[in-house]
Structure 1
Amino acid sequence: MRLKSSGSSTSVVLVVMILFYILLIRVIIIFFQQILLHLASTQSLANVIALVVLIVLPLVLLGIIVINVVKLFRDRAKRKPGARFKLRLVLFFSLVALLSAVPQTTLSITFLNSLINSQFISQINDVFSSAWEITIDYYRSKENNLRTFGSSPQLPRLLYGIEDDPQAVWESIRSLNPELQFIQVFDATGRERYFAGTEEARTAMLFDQDTATGMLPKVERGETTLFRYLYVLTRGGRRTYVVFGIVLPVGFDEQARQLSDSREIFEQLNRFKDILQVGIILFYFYFSFPILLISIIVSFFLSEEIIRPIINLEEATRHVAQGDLSIRILARSGDELGNLIDSFNSMVGELDSSKKKLQKTEKIAAWQEIAQRLAHEIKNPLTPIKLAAERIRKKFDETYAGNAAEFKTVIENSVQAIVAEVENLDKMLKEFNNFAKLPDPVRKQVNLKDLIDEVTAVYMSVAAEVSIKTDHVDPDIRLTLDPNQFKQVIANLFMNAFQAMEGGGTIYISADLVKKEKTNYCRIQIRDTGSGIDESVQPHVFNPYFTTKHGGTGLGLSIVERIIFDHNGNIWFETQKGLGTTFFIDLPLESE
């Protein structure tokens, strides 16, 4: 019988809870970015999703906790093993989670509130406002510079001669207004006649909508921003279009937008300061509460993981106390509890082995005592009976010699029968006595294959109609045993096989190395193709004085079992009626 140390479902649930915890952390980060930074947007989709999650998630987690709490108290009411200990573990883990969460939450909220109310935020907001004003002033100064220069009454005189010598005109304009960075001249058809300055400001041609004097629309080309002014010069019925302007620094507009967004964020922080503080508190509460619930749920499964081996040990100990030494616990982990379970299994295994050895020893001792008493009780009258029978025959010969031939024949036959039966009883008593006084084995290292071949050679000549196969015995196997006693084991098993195969057959012998728990064994198999053993006989096969053969003493297999037992081994058999019987012998490899 085996008990499972811990279920795989517990590990699966723990993995799922860890993944769920990581997902929850990710959701917290997303919600922090989407909600706390957009508190002004009360109708945003993110707020709606957050509201749903913050309501549904705790309810689901609370439901799981309620189910586990009800199950735990039900087990406690039924006095199931480990219920009280599990309750204490859950309370302990929950308290640890609560004690670790409260200071962290309090500190974080206090720090954020202090930061929001500090002068640092106001100073940053002032810095952003000042920077934004400077940006706007710079922007407007460039635009006003173009407008002022383009509407100057001196501009027509500066542009005089631009058709003939535009380079000289451009140099004059640059000397009066160094902020101008490019100039481009188009003829009446809109085609370019001249260009000078920053190359990024160059325009392929002038469109019809850009033919009136004044500011042209702002142009953004990649990271470059252009301010342009168009002046229409008319002389001699011909029109000449002159475009000049200013190029803002690279990335100016993008940096201005970022500055505007940052300024807007800090203005919202100031505007919604009180709402933000409440939001932070709610945020920590609503997201700390599910994490606390997850910790409690995990504590249930961790408690189950911890107490499961203890519960199994308790149940197994109860089985052992009731006499069931077949109990074993399956250990999954290699930690201290796993080592404890391994030690328990080893202890129960040794107890089981000791119990079996004790039973065998008691059984052998009991039969030895019976054999000794039986030999003593039977042997005492045998000698007088035999002597009396011989005296009758002798006296008859002396008294009635030469007559009463018929009476003599009767007496002779009767006396002969008495003597023969007495000799049979004497032979049986010697076997009983040998069983009772079987000597301790004298062990030495032998080659198993050579030992089996030696016995096989003797019995091959006795039963020619039976063949013996030893091909599957490893010639390298060496065992420490008593060779004479082990020859007796093989011989007795051969004799049983011969008697089971009256019409002939085959005996197959094989030997393999096996490992049971921490001990290496040599397993010897002796299989015959005989008639098999009746089911009613099987429980009594190794009992002394039990036999189904005429004239048998019933001690052959008892002696075999006794010899194997004295060698710290084990013997059993498998049989099927009509197909044969296989005897298995396990002998420890003491040399290893």
Structure 2
Amino acid sequence: MSDNFTKSDSLISVDERKKRKREGILAVSIIAIMVILTYAETQVITFGTDIPISNTVLMFILININLLLLILLMFLVFRNIVKLIFARRRKILGAKLRTKLVLAFITLSLLPTIVLFFFSIHFITSSIEFWFNVPVEQSLDKSLLVGRELYKHIEENNKFFIERVAYQIKTKKRLAPNKIKNLSHYILISQREFHLHGVEVYDTNYNRITFAIDPVLENKSFEIVSADDIQKDMGDDKVITITQGISSGELIRTIGTVPFGVKQADADAFVVISILISPELSKNLSSITRGVEEYQQIKLLKKTIQIANSITPLSIVALLVIFCAVWYGLYLAKTITIPIMKLAEGTRRVAEGDLSFNMDLVADDEVGILVDSFNIMTSDLRKGREQLELSNKMLSEQRDEIEERRQYMEIILTNVSAGVISFDASGKVTMINKSAEKMLNIDAVKILGKDYEELLAYDNLKLAREVMDYFTLSENDSLSRHVRITIGGKPLSFSMNINALKDDTGHYMGLVVVFDDMTELERAERKAAWREVARRIAHEVKNPLTPITLSAQRLKRKYSKQINNPVFEECTSTIIDHVDLIRNLVNEFSRFARFPSANPKPRDLLPIVEETVALYREGHPDVIFEIRVLDKIPELSLDRQQIKQALINLVDNAIASLNFNNDDCISFTLSYEPSLEKARLIVADTGSGISDKEKSLLFEPYFSTKKTGMGLGLTIVSTIINDHKGTIFVEDNSPRGVKFIIEFPVEEMLIAD
């Protein structure tokens, strides 16, 4: 037995040694092939003459690694594909699933990696190309050109100042021995006047006669210009420019002759102008120059940079990723094929409704736990389906009944004209119908789930709290109240009924509020009452007016010649005038009491507006009357005379409110809203305006803001507009005054016409 063990061990050792020997030979062969290929590639292919040989060798080593990985990958993929093809032909269990898994892993690894590889190469190549594109190179060249232009600009400025200084020295003969002091003073003045950093004057022996420098250069090295610099060829510029680096920056010094432009041999003296460039600017200009030089050097290595930074490293990474992904896909497909196939079969059976299926696969790993869980699942599903079928039947019946009730209640609440709001026990809104939204001018979406106090404005909270407190303290489950509240600046009157909501046990669950808008009804009742009063007053007062008028006129005609007394004339005239005034008041009562019904016909609104404006334009030249037509107005069903009367009343009120300034204006704006099928007329003035409190009473009978008014004009206007099925309301005008907004309905027949 010991001999057998030794023999087996020796056989294993021999096999292992052979395997290691083969691996060593393979590794040496691969290295040798890489060295040979790298040497051959360096001899055959060149990317640039200035590239170091070490970079070239490294680049070709990476290329050869790519080739080996590519060959290995192709062998691995091809080998496993061949094995899968044979397994599918022999119809081995799990071959199809394994094939799909392998293909999926290969595809999922190849496609994204290849796409990412080429995208990355393109991105890096484009980025590198962007470094060396024409605009970048032009920008660098132009930056360098800017620096040169700066120096040239400074030289031209220095040249200009040299010419001026030389001219003054020559014409004023400041070089004379007796004017040297005067020359020094002039040089100092010129330096300060032209804001130069230095001005120097040298004689023909190249000795500095005088100079003036800026205080910033007093403690700096400010060397005398040498004779060699002055003797340089001036060329066509007629000046010589030299640059001197100092601790505080760079000094640009320009040399010219006196007189300006002559040769050095013919010059009487030499003028030197100096300008200091700051260290920051000098440093930046030097950096630009160095940057351009470095850019030109890097441009020679463009192709090498592209290969070294994109193709080679990305290829290695991509091939490694693909190799690892393919290997892991093959391994994973092999380990999970059989259990997955069995689970797939069981899942198919369960999906078909066979909940009696049971798997007999034995395993002691996670797959075994998965199989046991699958069997428990099928058993639970079988029991749950029986209970679910019974529960579904009961729930379906209850759901249908609840849905029918809900739809019925929604239909009722939607179509009822009264407003309905329900609250829970804590006072939060749980339901609100469309009528309540419209009456209270609120949005149900924003108010649902919020406290009832958020329904009303601050002015109405006190009334709401009093009603809620009274209902809470009351022993009754219902309450009826008539309340007046203000919504959107308009006073409204509501008839309200509150009912408590309780369950079968008497537990309080909340309350429901039902209310109706009684504002228009009360307004109509008030108008009817006032009309009756007006009718009676007109009847009782009008009868005696005619005899009084006739008697006064008769007295005046008969005795005016006999009684030559001014008092008699004044008294009879007063009686007649006041009787006419009373008759006008009675006529106003009569018109209000027996206002004729409208006789509308299809008409254009614009001509009626123009006729009304024409009545006032001549009589009020200081007032601007404007008519603006924003849209084409279709024909409306109008009583021409009544609409004209309404507009006259509005214009009279507008004129009465004007302050008669230079900018007094009364405007008429006509517009049409097809979506609402309404034509709108806005009459606006720039008068003194009215208060918010007066707006709510403006259309009430016998309410007037004028001392001599009867308060029936706007009531008649409101009656006319209502007879035409329209609406009228008032708003503040900008920047001052008021505007009356009248809306007329556009009937379908008129729209079609």
User: Aligning the two structures, in what range does the TM-score lie when normalised by the shorter sequence?
Assistant: 0.3 to 0.5
Q: Scaled by the length of structure 2, what TM-score is found? A: 0.35
Higher RCO, Cα 8 Å, sep 6+: 1
* TM-score where L is the length of structure 1: 0.44
